[in-house]
Amino acid sequence: MALKLELVSDFACPWCRVGERHLEVALKDSGVAVEVGWVPFRLNPDLPGTGVPRRAYLEGKFGAHVEDAHAPLEAAAKAGGWAFSFDLMEVEPNTLDAHRLMIWGPAQAMATDLARRLFDAHWEGGRDLGDRATLAAIAGEAGLSAQKAGAYLESDEGTQEVKASQLALARAGIHAVPSFILEGRFLIQGAVPVEVLVDFLQRGAEGRLY
């Protein structure tokens, strides 16, 4: 029977991108059957719906030394054999609609593919995850109906579910992402190394987590 692992993350969180990449490798290396669920969390829920210019956002957060803030992220990506495309990114998005899309669309078999496409689109393609046309196109690339996704995104369906998730996580004491929750009981927080996730999954499968 597959273990249930929930990844609490935000598509606009760079360390969540690292964590998602590490999880992808760990799932292959662990040899453990795992069912992955994607739990919405927004780092910046108060951003305007259209987002804000990314450079100005980062300078407001880190000052003029934005590249220094990128350095550890770039090192983590390089170690995994991939790269961030910070130079392509113009907008810091409000990710409400991206999370709504995850609630709407895929059955379990497609959820991970859609989530990875959203991460890829933002961090490697520089695409704006706050733009509904972009999100509908990504849904189409994942094998869903782009037309139906677009119509859904123009509604307010899923909004309350995303907000309720944030409140529930706060009540559970989860305020940082990425967070990995195994079997609804065991928690690891942060973009931990692949080997830590492999051990977490294997100990979970063997009943060695208490």
Question: Does residue 39 come out as left (phi exceeding 0), alpha (psi in the -120 to 50 range) or beta?
Answer: beta
Q: How far apart are CA 35 and CA 106, in angstroms?
A: 14
Give 158-208 pLDDT, tens digit per residue: 999 999 999 999 999 998 899 999 999 999 999 999 999 999 999 999 988
Q: DSSP readout, 57-78?
A: HHHHHHTT-HHHHHHHHHHHHH
Q: Which residue has the tokens 């606009």?
A: 12
Tell me if 188 sits within 8 A of 179, measured CB to CB: yes
Give 128-138 pLDDT, tens digit per residue: 999 999 999 99
CATH superfamily of 3-205: Glutaredoxin (3.40.30.10)
Q: How far apart are CA 172 and CA 187, in angstroms?
A: 11
Sheet containing 186-189: give its strands across: 34-40, 3-9, 179-182, 186-189
